[in-house]
Structure 1
Amino acid sequence: MIARREFLKKSTLACAAIWGQRFVPQEEDFNIIDIHQHTNYAGRSHEELLTHQRAMGVKHTILLPAGTPSFGASTHFGKSNGLQVNSTGNDVCMEIAGRYPGEFYFGANEVPDLQGADKEIEKYLKKGAKAIGELKFGVKADGKPMERIYRLAEAYNVPVLLHWQFGMYTYGYEDFHKILQKFPKVNFIGHAQSWWANIDKNHNDQSVLYPRGKVTPGGITDRLLADYPNMFADMSAGSGLSALTRDEEHARGFLVRHQDKLLYGSDCDDRTGTGNGCTGIQAIQKIKELSPDLAVVRKILHGNAAKLFRI
């Protein structure tokens, strides 16, 4: 409680400096929902995860599991097991969520082209999983294994979180609008390097995963968010932070334009939740700094996620 009060005090002062005296943040404004975290992330312990989340002021966290370790092409013959960060699976995420009810929630995941993948995912959806993902596998976004997963998401009314990384994970980004049209009742969440690189209309070299410099609105990502009510954005990791910092003038407009579609996530393996080594806290600070008012901040840090995940 002492740490939480100190966090709220510092955050209130920071917000006052940014917004002036027009806004007086209340405690509920710091009930952050983090939609993207992992257990055992790069060897981080459960206790360190708890410390990290609480230090950032996160009230609710969704733990995204890895699939079953396998050695086919979809996991790059084992390289992508554990979501390539040593993340643990469905059972561990559910166990942690059970240990901290109301503070942690869990998703459901499996390697899409494994036999029985849909049954494994459904098993955890029946137990209360809040999402499917993070789907981070070397498969086609419009392939039959993935479409089976989308149908599960529709049946259980949970969002699907996709990791887009050119040449590595979730192939076929340029045609993803067809999936959004085919599954209008499924809410999709875009994440990772290729998702955020494509906010720029002039992003032509897809092999560049962390582009720098000015952004021209109208990229694939910008259009998907604008044109499809079932498309949302996960602002986590270095890729999401880079999208905010590479062109802050563009970012201000982007936050306003898509304020009802943006979801805060950390996807950070930091242990403390403070300082320059933590992309999670840096993203929170940037969202507060670049948003025009407290209403937009509230939507991005908790309001949108509360509706989408029914928290």
Structure 2
Amino acid sequence: MGKTDLHLHLSFAPVSKSDAMSVSSYQEMLPHLKELGIDRGVLMSCGETKGLLPCGTNEENRRIAEADPEHYAWMCCLDDDRQTETVYDRLAACKQQGAVGIGELTINRRLDDPFLDAIFESAGQLGMPVTFHMSPEEGYSYGVVDEPGLPLLEACLKKHPDTLFLGHSQTFWIEISKDAPKDREGRNQWGKGPVVPGGRVPELFLRYPNLCGDLSANSAGCALMRDPQFGLDFLEQFADRLFFATDMVNAEMVFPLGAWLDEQRDAGRLSRMTYDKICRENAKRVFGV
């Protein structure tokens, strides 16, 4: 059995623009997924109406999943419209249409913003896990915003114990090490060098069972591979709450973590049980895919 990729950005039809990266269609992507040993993928959304390239809208992702349910499932997102009173109904409608979670949440507001709080509360009530992209600052890039040390995320984890939060992006994974930088640019970098024990991500994983990890892109890859023994210990310790993912948008992209996980399993440095949980069983258990 192959892997389940919990983080893909694809289109219903091919997209290519001179000022942006190309986005493969769901059909174009299938041979590449097979080559990488991926059986199924979960599509990320950027919202209800416009969708920022390379993210598709809820509707486009739903169309892909309905056209090829053997290989694709989808998550949904809401537009950043501050209409907190309609959040539950809008998310419930997405779930009824087949959405398996909420993501990729990229709204560039602090995690204590009322609109985000309404999303997190509704997500717990509906049983829809939330994959978030984190940014170090409002008005800087994209993603939900927290301060150094992730105090706002901790408050969310406390306030919404029934909501599963899947952390993603440089600003989240840089906090795996105690010496995580505190400046804006430093917090938006991939981690390098040995991990200093005592980082906030491992601490929050220990304290809050509703914190999970999206292992996509170089942000998670570097967090785990920068210090291989630390990374392997982290994978074993939190095997039930980590999800293999790539963040690919086209058939030319490859991230190194998938091959690294295969190598560690084959060499006996990563248990087969942990490998299977991370690469497919957790996705089936939590998301039903």
Asked if these proteins are the same fold (TM beyond 0.5), I'd say yes
Paired residue secondary structure (1:204): coil
Residue 22 of structure 2 contacts residue 250 of structure 2 at CA under 8 Å; is this kept in 1?
no
* Letter aligned with residue 127 of structure 1: Q
Give unmatched runs, 5+ long, in structure 1: 1-27, 71-80
Aligned-partner Cα distance in 2 for 1:62–1:143: 27
* Letter aligned with residue 257 of structure 2: A
Residue 112 of structure 1 contacts residue 118 of structure 1 at CA under 8 Å; is this kept in 2?
no
* Letter aligned with residue 308 of structure 1: V
Give unmatched runs, 5+ long, in structure 2: 16-20
Counterpart of 1:43 (choices 22, 25, 31) is 22
User: Which consecutive segments of 4 or more residues in structure 1 shift more than 6 A?
Assistant: none
Alignment of 1:79-98 (within 5 A): 82=52, 85-98=53-66
Deviation at 1:68, TM superposition (A): 4.5
Aligned-partner Cα distance in 2 for 1:293–1:147: 37
Alignment of 1:1-311 (within 5 A): 28=1, 30=2, 32-40=3-11, 42-46=21-25, 47-68=27-48, 82=52, 85-115=53-83, 116=86, 118-167=88-137, 168=140, 169-172=143-146, 173-207=150-184, 208=186, 209-272=189-252, 277-279=253-255, 282-290=256-264, 291-311=269-289
Deviation at 1:51, TM superposition (A): 2.6
Paired residue secondary structure (1:164): strand
Deviation at 1:206, TM superposition (A): 4.3
Residue 61 of structure 1 contacts residue 104 of structure 1 at CA under 8 Å; is this kept in 2?
yes
Deviation per CA, 1:54-84: give whole Å up to 9, x if none: 22222221111112467xxxxxxxxxx61xx
Question: Cα gap change, 1:242/1:270 in structure 2, threshold over 3 Å: closer, same or farther?
Answer: farther
Aligned-partner Cα distance in 2 for 1:192–1:210: 9
Per mean C-alpha deviation after superposition, the further-off stretch among 298-307 and 245-254 is: 245-254
Aligned-partner Cα distance in 2 for 1:310–1:203: 35
Residue 177 of structure 1 contacts residue 224 of structure 1 at CA under 8 Å; is this kept in 2?
yes
Query: Which is greater in Rg?
Result: 1
Aligned-partner Cα distance in 1 for 2:183–2:93: 36
Paired residue secondary structure (1:260): helix
Deviation per CA, 1:5-40: give whole Å up to 9, x if none: xxxxxxxxxxxxxxxxxxxxxxx3x2x111111124
Give me the TM-score of the superposition, normalised by structure 1: 0.79
Deviation at 1:254, TM superposition (A): 1.4
Deviation per CA, 1:219-259: give whole Å up to 9, x if none: 11111112111110000011111112222122122112221
Per mean C-alpha deviation after superposition, the further-off stretch among 178-187 and 146-155 is: 146-155
* Letter aligned with residue 91 of structure 1: E
Aligned-partner Cα distance in 1 for 2:23–2:170: 23
Aligned-partner Cα distance in 2 for 1:236–1:137: 19
Paired residue secondary structure (2:166): strand
Aligned-CA RMSD value: 2.0
Aligned-partner Cα distance in 2 for 1:221–1:286: 21
Aligned-partner Cα distance in 2 for 1:34–1:253: 22
Aligned-partner Cα distance in 2 for 1:113–1:140: 15
* Letter aligned with residue 134 of structure 2: W
Aligned-partner Cα distance in 2 for 1:250–1:206: 25
Aligned-partner Cα distance in 2 for 1:178–1:308: 23
Deviation per CA, 1:168-188: give whole Å up to 9, x if none: 321123321111111111111
Q: Per residue, is there more helix in 1 or in 2?
A: 1
Aligned-partner Cα distance in 2 for 1:267–1:154: 24
Count of residue pairs the alignment pairs up: 264
Give me the TM-score of the superposition, normalised by structure 2: 0.84
Aligned-partner Cα distance in 2 for 1:188–1:163: 11
Per mean C-alpha deviation after superposition, the further-off stretch among 93-102 and 206-215 is: 206-215
Q: Per residue, is there more strand in 1 or in 2?
A: 2
Residue 136 of structure 1 contacts residue 162 of structure 1 at CA under 8 Å; is this kept in 2?
yes
